[in-house]
């Protein structure tokens, strides 16, 4: 499961997540696309886990999955992952 799947599973829009954890929508979308990893305060990480109804390990794994998919798309732009 990647970051976007986690968010969708929680029933939230990227805009809602951004507002609740005080980051820009583009930041949330960059995480979901695997362009960047969440760099948050402890309080923001805890809140993100609560919003996504997951533990920190699941959030970390989802972030790594998004990064992996991004790297795969970069190296082979004709194939779609996810």
Q: Which of 2, 37, 39, 45 is nearest to 21 (CA)?
A: 45
- Give residue 47's pLDDT band: very low, low, confident or very high (50, 70, 90): very high
Q: What is each CA distance from 23 to 17, 18, 27, 40, 50, in whole angstroms?
A: 8, 5, 6, 9, 16
CATH code for the domain in which residue 15 is found: 1.10.260.40
- Residue 82 is assigned to a structural domain of this protein: no
The total number of structural domains that make up the chain = 1
**Global confidence as pTM:** 0.83
Q: Which domain holds residue 57?
A: 3-75
Average pLDDT value over all residues in the chain: 92
In the chain, the N- to C-terminal Cα span, in Å, equals 9
User: Does the pLDDT value for residue 2 go beyond 90?
Assistant: yes
Quick: pLDDT tens for 61-76.
999 999 999 999 889 8
* 27 occurs within a structural domain: yes
The answer to the question of residue 80 being in a domain is no
């Amino acid at each position: 499961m990647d970051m976007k799947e986690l968010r969708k599973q929680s029933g939230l829009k990227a805009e809602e997540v951004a507002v609740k954890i005080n980051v820009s929508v583009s930041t949330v979308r960059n995480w979901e696309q695997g362009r960047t990893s969440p760099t948050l305060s402890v309080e923001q990480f805890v809140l993100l886990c609560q919003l996504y109804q997951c533990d920190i390990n699941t959030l970390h794994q989802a972030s790594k999955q998004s990064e992996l998919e991004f790297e795969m798309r970069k190296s082979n732009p004709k194939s779609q992952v996810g």
